[in-house]
């Protein structure tokens, strides 16, 4: 590939625009406004107690045929039969509302829907083929709803109906790009009123408030980008797997936002804030592998400054992956947790293709428990819109059901892709083929075994803390059988699975932490399970003999009951990163009464407390950096939970240095504030980016309006550190909440 010798010029021009905008040289766009200050209180963040159901809105159920072809939409791009999956099918928010009983009866406690805002309407055309943005990933207008799904009024009705039924609402959200640069890529917004609010009428639709004859206004255009809103490095080739290319080049020709531009940061934060104020309970962030982590941390902080929601994202990796270390550290660096692709890859190869063993799957459960800092907040799945349907990979219902049972009893927040409960098999490995119109292709049968399994195990997840918060221990594994145990103090769940549909196995002398006694299968034989007897022995409690027929799954549960005099126990805390004044949701047991919540040694204000949940506020006096959250109740203290207290509101500083390195070395930033590791090289920033050697640069999330000291260091693969020998460098971040400033380009070891 021809080397782009103008790359540094483009980098500096884009970053210079960000610096000038921050410092006031260029005026802020008059359309950059925050949504109204008030907000609708949500139901609460999504937790490991929940079971999420992912819906591609257009592909679920058509509850309102009047929005199938909205004004201005080309009728030829509507199908409605499930025959042409490149075109709209008619699923909408009213359809989801009508199917809430179906969801609730299945045990679903959270629904993840397609991005709710307006997308590019024009199709991508190639020869006789055309594709529309039914999926929601080609944003056109963040502040207007996608009229194929309904109006803002319908969205609010969906939110309210879900919440009334105890179901949380998660929306997909894209901040990486707009749409295809070659087709459109433009970004618009509605007119604004004098109050600063967007002009949305009583019918829930944007209207022409200023009388200029149009209802939306151009904000940015990648093909006429005079304010530097987009990166312009071209499309990333499959062979370009370096970090810089993922974060700066276009994904599938989609116009890539420059998240190092202060205007862009401000606009995207205001867009996410708009929907957060509408009372959503969570956001699934698209393409987090491609995002600037410093921007992501600021975005997470902006949402949680309004109200605490669950943030998770799509950091897409294979297995094995050279990006695994970046993947596992992303939640700790940004506060946005991962869709668990490591779990997905292991589950599909173990229960789907049978290309790996049950022992391999058990090993994955163990090493991810060690590698993930917050394993209970990763979102696990068997399939989704970006991968093959599990029903295509594994059409046999016995191992299919076994995989589903394991998903629902493993650590993390389980996500069910719409129609998984109906055993959808599109007959193709294509992820597009898997995006079927459920109304015409599968229906809504509440009597499938998969539907019932989800319901039973969702109830278990609600009732036994071991499933939601427990540690994982593999009691036995072989090529085809696994027995694993979840434990949260005095609560236990043991799961025994035979993936082979037509082979039986007998296992003897399985040691377990279950107390001695007889246990009934939680699934009541739904997957051929039976009761089991646990005997006491000198070597510990043991299942003397376990016979598993083909496809058998057993789930045995034990809960000694809550002892109100015992110490409180923290299972999880959402979120895992935040600053003074933001709410945290603490889950566990023994939390009711008059608990004292502490961040380190600093006491927090408790807003509410029940036996299983506390809502508290991050205290102003908490020391910035990693804190141990503890709960003290009735004189007894809980276990500790790691929480990262941010110094203050976050914005970006982009560090620059010219540095020569040896093979295997990278350059990092370390400094006097927790965001720079507090001078600990093991807690420095991630490696700086080097698209044109020897110039290194890196956007870093830092506290606003703060003067700090720093140095550049070099580290090799063995962890050896080389420090600059010069005096500490000094820099001050922007005082603007969404500011972005560049340092000068320093030279290594020169002040």
CA distance 633 to 104: 35
pLDDT band at 20 (very low <50, low <70, confident <90, very high): very low
Structure tokens at 238: 């499959």
Which residues are known catalytic residues? 286, 314
Kindly write down the DSSP assignment for every residue of 137-170, as one continuous string. Answer: -SEEEEEEE-TTT--HHHHHHHHHHHHHTT-EEE
Beta bridge partners, 721, equal: 715
The C-alpha angle with vertex 652 and arms to 244 and 743, in degrees rounded to 5, equals 80
Residue 730 CB neighbour total at 10 angstroms = 11
143 close to 117: Cβ distance less than 8 angstroms: yes
Confidence of residue 538 (pLDDT cuts 50, 70, 90): confident
- Summarised one tens digit per residue, pLDDT across range 479-520 is 999 999 999 999 999 999 999 999 999 999 999 999 999 999
Q: How far apart are CA 445 and CA 455, in angstroms?
A: 13
Output b/e per residue, 137-146; b: 16+ Cβ within 10 A. bbbbbbbbbb
From residue 420, alpha-carbon distances to 80, 241, 389 in Å are 21, 32, 8
Pair of tokens at residue 627? 């804190």
Question: Cβ(678)–Cβ(668) under 8 Å?
Answer: no
**Domain extents in the chain:** 466-559, 569-645, 647-747
Cα(61)–Cα(695) distance, rounded to whole angstroms?
53
**What is the SS3 assignment for 178?**
strand
| Cα diameter, the chain | 85
Task: Indicate yes or no: pTM above 0.85.
Answer: yes
CB 343, CB 363: distance < 8 Å: no
Indicate if 569-645 has the same CATH topology as 466-559: yes
Residue 21 confidence (pLDDT) above 50: no
Torsion of CA 97, 98, 103, 105, to 10 degrees: 130
CB atoms within 10 A of CB 40: 14
In a 3-state reduction of DSSP, which class is residue 712? strand
For every residue of 222-291, DSSP letters joined together read TTS-TT--B--S-BPPTT--SHHHHHHSBBTTEEEB-TTSHHHHHHHHHHHHHHHTTT-SEEEETTGGGS
Residue 6 has pLDDT above 50, yes or no: no
What is the C-alpha radius of gyration for the chain, rounded to an integer number of angstroms?
A: 26
Exposure pattern of 82-119 as b/e (b: 16+ CB <10 Å)?
beebebbbbbbbbbbbbbbebbeebbbbbbbbbbbbbb
Q: Cis peptide before 320, with omega less than 30 degrees from 0?
A: yes
CATH of domain 466-559: 2.60.40.1180
pLDDT at 24 over 60: no
Instruction: Find the mean pLDDT for residues 10-23.
Output: 43
Is the domain spanning 569-645 CATH 2.60.40.10? The answer is yes
CB 230 within 8 Å of CB 258: yes
**472 within 8 A of 485, measured Cβ to Cβ:** yes
The pLDDT, as a whole number, for residue 30 is 25
pLDDT, one tens digit per residue, over 210-256 is 999 999 999 999 999 999 999 999 999 999 999 999 999 999 999 99
CA 423 to CA 451: how far, in whole Å? 10
Q: From residue 52, how far is each of 10, 48, 448, 660 by CA, in Å?
A: 42, 10, 19, 49
Task: Indicate whether 26 pLDDT > 90.
Answer: no
Q: Which residues contact 698 (CB under 8 A, 6 or more apart)?
A: 654, 655, 669, 685, 686, 687, 688, 689
Q: Which of 286, 288, 289, 287 is nearest to 241 (CA)?
A: 289
Asked whether 111 and 458 are in contact (CB, 8 A), the reply is: no
Interhelix angle for 7-23 vs 262-276, to 10°? 60
Q: Yes or no: say if 45 and 282 are a contact pair by the CB < 8 Å rule.
A: yes
Which CATH number applies to 647-747: 3.40.50.11720, 2.30.40.10, 2.60.120.10, 2.60.40.10? 2.60.40.10
What confidence score (pLDDT) does residue 560 get? 79
Please work out, in degrees rounded to the nearest 5, the angle formed at the alpha carbon of residue 373 by the alpha carbons of 678 and 471. 145
How far out from the chain centre does Cα 484 lie?
26
What does the pLDDT look like over 321-376, one tens digit per residue? 999 999 999 999 999 999 999 999 999 999 999 999 999 999 999 999 999 999 99
Cα–Cα distance measured from residue 125 to residue 127, given in angstroms and rounded to the nearest whole number: 6
How distant, in Å, are the alpha carbons of 302, 369, 678, 729 from that of 671? 24, 30, 5, 9
Q: Which of 436, 419, 488, 486 is nearest to 457 (CA)?
A: 486
In angstroms, the CA 379 to CA 321 distance is 19
Predicted pLDDT at 562: 55
35 has pLDDT over 50: no
User: Where is pLDDT greater, at 182 or 744?
Assistant: 744
Distance of CA 32 to the CA centre of its chain: 26
Res 22 pLDDT > 80: no
- Is residue 32 scored above 90 in pLDDT? no
The DSSP code for 349 is I
Q: Which of 416, 420, 402 is nearest to 361 (CA)?
A: 402
Can you give the pLDDT at residue 565?
53
């Amino acid at each position: 590939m021809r080397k782009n010798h103008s790359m540094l010029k483009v980098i500096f021009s884009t970053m210079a625009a960000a610096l000038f905008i921050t410092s006031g040289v260029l005026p802020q766009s008059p359309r950059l406004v925050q949504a109204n200050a008030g907000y609708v209180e949500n139901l609460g963040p999504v937790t490991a107690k929940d079971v999420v159901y992912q819906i591609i809105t257009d592909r679920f159920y058509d509850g309102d045929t009047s929005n199938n072809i909205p004004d201005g939409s080309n009728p030829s791009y509507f199908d409605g039969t499930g025959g042409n999956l490149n075109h709209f099918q008619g699923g909408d928010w009213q359809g989801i509302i009508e199917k809430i009983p179906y969801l609730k009866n299945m045990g679903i406690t959270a629904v993840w829907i397609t991005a709710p805002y307006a997308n590019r309407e024009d199709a991508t055309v190639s020869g006789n083929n055309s594709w529309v943005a039914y999926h929601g990933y080609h944003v056109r207008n963040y502040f207007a709803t996608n009229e194929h799904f309904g109006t803002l009024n319908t969205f609010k009705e969906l939110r309210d109906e879900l919440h009334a039924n105890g179901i949380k609402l998660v929306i997909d959200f894209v901040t990486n790009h707009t749409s295809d640069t070659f087709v459109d890529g433009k970004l618009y917004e509605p007119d604004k009123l004098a109050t600063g609010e967007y002009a949305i009428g009583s019918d829930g639709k944007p209207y022409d408030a200023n009388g200029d004859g149009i209802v939306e206004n151009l904000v940015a255009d990648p093909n006429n980008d005079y304010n530097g809103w987009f990166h312009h490095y071209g499309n990333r080739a499959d062979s370009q797997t370096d970090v810089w290319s993922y974060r700066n080049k276009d994904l599938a020709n989609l116009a890539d936002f420059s998240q190092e531009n202060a205007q862009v940061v401000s606009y995207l934060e205001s867009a996410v804030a708009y929907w957060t104020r509408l009372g959503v309970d969570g956001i699934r962030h698209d393409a987090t592998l491609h995002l600037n982590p410093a921007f992501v941390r600021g975005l997470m902080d902006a949402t949680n400054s309004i109200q605490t929601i669950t943030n998770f994202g799509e950091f897409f990796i294979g297995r094995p992956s050279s990006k695994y270390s970046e993947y596992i550290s992303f939640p700790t660096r940004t506060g946005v947790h991962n869709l668990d692709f490591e779990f997905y890859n292991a589950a599909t190869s173990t229960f789907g293709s049978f290309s790996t063993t049950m022992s391999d799957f058990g090993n994955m459960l163990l090493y991810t428990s060690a590698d993930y800092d917050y394993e209970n907040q990763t979102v696990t799945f068997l399939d989704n819109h970006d991968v093959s349907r599990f029903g295509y990979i594994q059409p046999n219902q016995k191992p299919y059901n076994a995989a589903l049972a394991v998903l629902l009893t493993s650590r993390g927040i389980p996500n069910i892709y719409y129609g998984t409960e109906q055993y959808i098999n599109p007959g193709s490995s294509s992820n597009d083929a898997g995006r079927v119109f459920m109304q015409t292709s599968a229906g809504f049968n509440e009597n499938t075994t998969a539907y019932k399994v989800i319901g039973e195990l969702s109830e278990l997840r609600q009732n036994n803390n071991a499933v939601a918060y427990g540690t994982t221990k593999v009691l036995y594994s072989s090529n085809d059988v696994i027995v694993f145990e979840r434990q949260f103090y005095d609560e236990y769940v043991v799961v025994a699975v035979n993936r082979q549909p037509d082979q039986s196995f007998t296992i003897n002398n399985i040691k377990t932490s279950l107390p001695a006694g007889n246990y009934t299968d939680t699934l009541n034989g739904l997957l051929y399970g039976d009761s089991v007897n646990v005997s006491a022995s000198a070597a510990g409690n043991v299942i003397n003999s376990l016979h598993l027929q083909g496809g058998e799954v057993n789930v045995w549960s034990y809960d000694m009951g809550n002892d109100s005099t015992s110490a409180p126990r923290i299972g999880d805390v959402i979120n895992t990163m935040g600053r003074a004044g933001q709410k945290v949701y603490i889950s566990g047991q023994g939390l009711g009464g008059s608990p004292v919540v502490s961040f380190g040694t600093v006491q927090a204000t408790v807003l509410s407390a029940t036996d299983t949940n506390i809502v508290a506020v991050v205290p102003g006096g908490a020391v910035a950096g990693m804190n141990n959250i503890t709960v003290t109740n009735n004189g007894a203290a809980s276990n500790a939970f790691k929480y990262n207290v941010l110094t203050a509101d976050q914005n970006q500083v982009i560090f620059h240095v010219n540095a020569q390195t040896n093979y295997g070395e990278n350059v990092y930033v370390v400094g006097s504030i927790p965001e720079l590791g507090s001078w600990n090289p093991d807690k420095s920033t991630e490696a700086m980016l080097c698209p044109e050697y020897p110039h290194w640069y890196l956007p870093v999330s830092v506290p606003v309006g703060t003067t700090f000291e720093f140095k550049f260091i070099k580290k090799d693969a063995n962890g050896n550190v080389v420090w600059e020998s010069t005096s500490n460098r000094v820099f001050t971040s922007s005082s603007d909440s969404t500011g972005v400033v560049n340092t000068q380009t320093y030279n290594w070891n020169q002040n």
